[in-house]
Structure 1
């Protein structure tokens, strides 16, 4: 049996950058902010499963677009995933459950024929401020597609079509593509956009299914929407063989606004085709981000962490930022406390981390995480660092003294054992 240490010795210092790696196949079906690198995740999971042949399941408690769970499933593991974002959940569900390709091909022909018919009666979709975010003709085109998707018999096929519609909704919205936050484009750019909604949707549904696995009603896919701390509390203790995840590096409101990025597509998708979630997550454009770790509406943390490292950091930033940092760190470590509970003794956790800036001072999140997990009894089997050449992050994430602050360009990977 080859150990993780021996495998790592064979890798060059820049191996983990995966500088030439690109999203491909199944991972390109729908775009999402700050996705993981599939090649890296596959390699990391493979290292652990080669050392420990008894690993049967994999948990990602912040699964995002599902890269880690897709790669874990490809290596024969049963996927378990949590995310507070219903859109991320839908994308991951479709990638894992797959489709019946013959049924999709038949449904595609029906949908394309129906969409092009002139005498289809449909209700024009509406939600608060819809005309701010979409041109009138775009609303009509998307509404027609929505109506026809809802006529599809099989739920998993409807879910596939919703995922294919996400990129179309994003492309034809009035929001700028240069940021994950909702900001209106210039009026001239909105007016110049050519309405190719039908053409783009047809292209997506005709190609994306080819990358998906075959659908089976007996396939074991366990995904849930909600605060990962609550979901971990409901998970059986010592039941998980491998945790592999990249948790948020800060509260969503000031790092990556996954919720704002996802809200417009969520307002178009029929809720009955989404995994059950709390309605409050769709109350406004910031609801998901506010309910995420460190957000003003996140569930109360059961961890109240303090250390010299954290105190020294807080002393370096303005007093007005203390509460935001403390709230996030407590929520974040609360999640790790619960991850420790569900992981089996002797099993591995793989965590990809980054250190963000607050007041232009680097929050030592990686070191805080290590300190906390060592106190919980984990051992650090390996520690890697990598440059971030391809991860889709905003180039500038906040402003200090009216100057934009660059986002992080280095990530750290910890391989820990309970």
Structure 2
């Protein structure tokens, strides 16, 4: 498709939409990529758009906005929480509920149960531990509330901000001097931003918290396009980025780390993965998707290259070669510059400056 090459895929002037800026997420997908791909390929509206590594849900949100039923899958429970919230309307009484939670929190000096996980006293002052634990207890009073996920989304969005972690992308200790008052203030700020920018209505979005290599029958046979960015080897530590959030929301980050494709941990532990593991994983996924996509469906992978034990792995070529071997038509490999502000973790190791959009078609 000649039109693919006429687009400046870097989108240097792109600005993050407010809905996508409320909750931090590493290497966030910019909406312009899925928007342009769906515009160029124009799948029929009765087909589903799939992102098997949905992350913060940008592809799913774009597809929903454009009138498609969308499916997002991710192993990381924080990712699927974010995506569920961004694709679900917020009720009229949401801010009233949040205000009532904050007022109730003010009545308590200590939580019913103190939170405990590795190094919690290093990364969270006692006052902040108590404030977060109390806030989570009050949120959990509303487990049956239609926007319970949204309450946890707002809670999750502030955790690093009130911690002793320097920033969302830098694991260095820094006492920020935050207090219980800040915890409650930031929670309400997040809630107000979500309410203001949430979708009002939309087509169906199905979000699955699971390993994309084990989907089996969860995906229908009417996928009209796949647009995704796989977590390729040694690029970003998604589990690490959300480790504290997972602990506070009662998920297990170590279990997520063990299954996460591309986590740097997997390549440097004693029984380390070898470079071909990513190819094996992508072969399994692309073979599965071949049976789920309709004829003519594009499969678009935004991906960078990896450096593992001094060797460069061209993940774009790996994806293209696998696709051709399975029976997909190879359409194009497009190049886009990486924006420095969108990077996080392992930068000196990964040195990611360029990424590619590999386009296949069934």
Is the shorter-chain TM-score for this pair beyond 0.5, marking a shared fold? yes
**How far 1:259 moved relative to its partner?**
0.8
1:83 maps onto 2:87 in alignment? no
Q: Is the CA contact 1:108–1:206 (under 8 Å) kept in the aligned structure 2?
A: no
Structure 2 residue aligned with 1:127 = 116
Q: Is the CA contact 2:239–2:256 (under 8 Å) kept in the aligned structure 1?
A: yes
1:203 maps onto 2:189 in alignment? yes
Change (3 A) 1:351 1:295: closer
Change (3 A) 1:334 1:143: same
More deviation, 69-78/15-24: 15-24
Aligned partner of 1:109 among 96, 99, 119: 99
For residues 201-280 of structure 1, the aligned pairs below 5 Å read: 201-214=187-200, 220-231=204-215, 233-235=216-218, 238-250=221-233, 254-269=234-249
Q: Is the CA contact 2:232–2:278 (under 8 Å) kept in the aligned structure 1?
A: no
Change (3 A) 1:53 1:335: closer
SS in 1 for 2:247: helix
Aligned partner of 1:147 among 122, 129, 137: 137
1:193 maps onto 2:173 in alignment? no
Change (3 A) 1:119 1:263: closer
Structure 2: how far apart are the matches of 1:339 and 1:105?
41
RMSD in angstroms over aligned alpha carbons? 2.8
Structure 2: how far apart are the matches of 1:95 and 1:17?
24
Structure 2 residue aligned with 1:290 = 258
Change (3 A) 1:151 1:234: same
Change (3 A) 1:144 1:323: closer
**How far 1:104 moved relative to its partner?**
1.0
**How far 1:346 moved relative to its partner?**
2.2
Structure 2 residue aligned with 1:307 = none
Structure 2: how far apart are the matches of 1:348 and 1:297?
32
1:20 maps onto 2:13 in alignment? yes
For residues 377-388 of structure 1, the aligned pairs below 5 Å read: 377-388=327-338
Aligned partner of 1:375 among 315, 325, 329: 325
Structure 1 gap ranges (5+): 272-281, 299-319, 398-403
TM-score, length-scaled by structure 1: 0.77
What count of residue pairs does the alignment treat as equivalent?
357
